[in-house]
Amino acid sequence: MNANPSSPPTLRDVAEAAGVHTATASRALNPKTRQQISAETARRVMRAAESLGYQPNSVARSLKTSRSATVGLVIPDLTNPLFPPIVRGVESVLESEGYNVWIVNTDNDAERERAKIESLRSRQVEGLIVATARLEHPLLRQLHEQGVTMVLVNRQVEDLPIPAVTGDDATGITLAVRHLAELGHTSIAHLAGPLGTSTGRLRARAFRHAVRDHELRDDPALTVECAYWSEHDGAAAMRSLLDDRRDFTAVVAGNDLIALGCYDVFAERGLSCPSDISVIGFNDMPFLDKLRPPLTTVAVPHHELGAEAARMLLDCIGDPSRPARSLLLPATLVVRGSTAPPITH
């Protein structure tokens, strides 16, 4: 169990031997928190600790007795259907380990985010799972410097070693552009999400690379940034593209809501999807198969994103010295009715 027989066994070794998370092992070994887990699990962990000759570090132990068995989950916009499956994924893992999850919704507002995270911290949550990250995020930098245990989900920050679980955005966009190229489209627009978010920036970059790889029209004016990941901003971006009389036959939208904003504009302008313009979304949020037309999109396993973020947080709680790492979950293309070959005039 212990990779290096000359070094003393660690909490992680005990956890592995007992087949539980380090966070669970830590609670099992602490009389003050033992009742938070099942008696059977506690026994298994104590037996493993005994057989390995594990000696708990008393400083670390004293830090851990203030455990609240609560984790905060920070969501930017609960009305975006992308987030509820992430929430459920997070809960499925944390609840089975005896944790409660408190969710706060920041509505994309930095002031609100600060107040809510402060309120969670003042109630001693053991860690945060954060879905609001922007590339430049002074608050997250500050929390990181203060040693707050955090995992990012869906988005990342720049230049900060905070663990993150995200979808493979670059591959997803590459699949979307390839699908349109194979249908015969040569002039494709991109309605990018906010470029201050890792998802917005990564998808926009991947779009540019894919367009060049397929030798399609490479025109920076065919990429328009949306201020928010919303139907409203997607519609505004599509209107501005159409008003500029840009020539394009397909759109890769930064996410599904932006794609739905395009649907609204097509209805306003008497355009037909996919015969006039093909559209691809991103996320595969619920109900897309029932839309008119059903939306072709990039699917990301959001429930799994939440579950993996929760597992990573448990690892961090159990072993705060663990180096940060990033986990990328695979994206796939779901072809539905919103993409078709371009009409040749």
What does the per-residue mask of binding to a copy of itself show for 40-59, with x meaning CB under 8 A?
--------------------
The residue among 118 and 247 lying less far from a copy of itself, judged by its C-beta, is: 118
- Count the residues of the shown chain that bind a copy of itself, applying the rule CB under 8 A: 33
Choose the binding region for a copy of itself from 84-92, 133-141, 169-177, 222-230 (rule: CB under 8 A): 84-92
Beta carbon of residue 299, minimum distance to a copy of itself (angstroms, whole number): 16
Beta carbon of residue 130, minimum distance to a copy of itself (angstroms, whole number): 15
Choose the binding region for a copy of itself from 49-57, 102-110, 178-186, 307-315 (rule: CB under 8 A): 102-110
Longest dimension (CA), the chain: 78
User: With binding defined as CB under 8 A, does residue 335 bind a copy of itself?
Assistant: no
From 2, 70, 108, 186, residue interacting with a copy of itself (rule: CB under 8 A): 70
From 79, 142, 240, 275, residue interacting with a copy of itself (rule: CB under 8 A): 79
Please, what is the end-to-end C-alpha distance for the chain in angstroms? 69
The residue among 49 and 253 lying less far from a copy of itself, judged by its C-beta, is: 253
- What CA–CA distance (Å, rounded) separates 22 from 35? 16
Buried residues in 127-162 as b, exposed as e (16+ CB within 10 A): bbbbbbbbbebebbeebbeeebbbbbbbbbbeebeb
Q: What angle do the packed helices 39-52 and 22-29 form, to 10 degrees?
A: 90
Of 153, 151, 148, 154, nearest to 162 by C-alpha is: 151
The residue among 41 and 105 lying less far from a copy of itself, judged by its C-beta, is: 105
DSSP 68: -
The residue among 89 and 194 lying less far from a copy of itself, judged by its C-beta, is: 89
The residue among 71 and 211 lying less far from a copy of itself, judged by its C-beta, is: 71
Beta carbon of residue 95, minimum distance to a copy of itself (angstroms, whole number): 7
| Token pair 């539980």: residue | 20
Pairing of strands 70-75, 100-105: parallel
Of 73, 204, 210, nearest to 135 by C-alpha is: 204
User: With binding defined as CB under 8 A, does residue 101 bind a copy of itself?
Assistant: yes
**Cβ partners under 8 Å of residue 330, min gap 6:** 167, 168, 171, 301
What does the per-residue mask of binding to a copy of itself show for 278-297, with x meaning CB under 8 A?
--------xx--xxxxx---
User: With binding defined as CB under 8 A, does residue 103 bind a copy of itself?
Assistant: yes
In the region spanning residues 246 to 285, those forming contacts with a copy of itself, defined by CB under 8 A, are 260, 263
Question: How far from the centroid of its chain's Cα atoms is residue 92's Cα?
Answer: 16
The residue among 65 and 100 lying less far from a copy of itself, judged by its C-beta, is: 100
- DSSP result, 253-268: ESSHHHHHHHHHHHHH
- What CA–CA distance (Å, rounded) separates 105 from 87? 12
Question: Which residue ranges make up the site for a copy of itself (CB under 8 A)?
Answer: 69-70, 78-79, 81, 84-85, 87-88, 91, 95, 100-105, 107, 112, 115-116, 119-120, 123, 260, 263, 286-287, 290-294
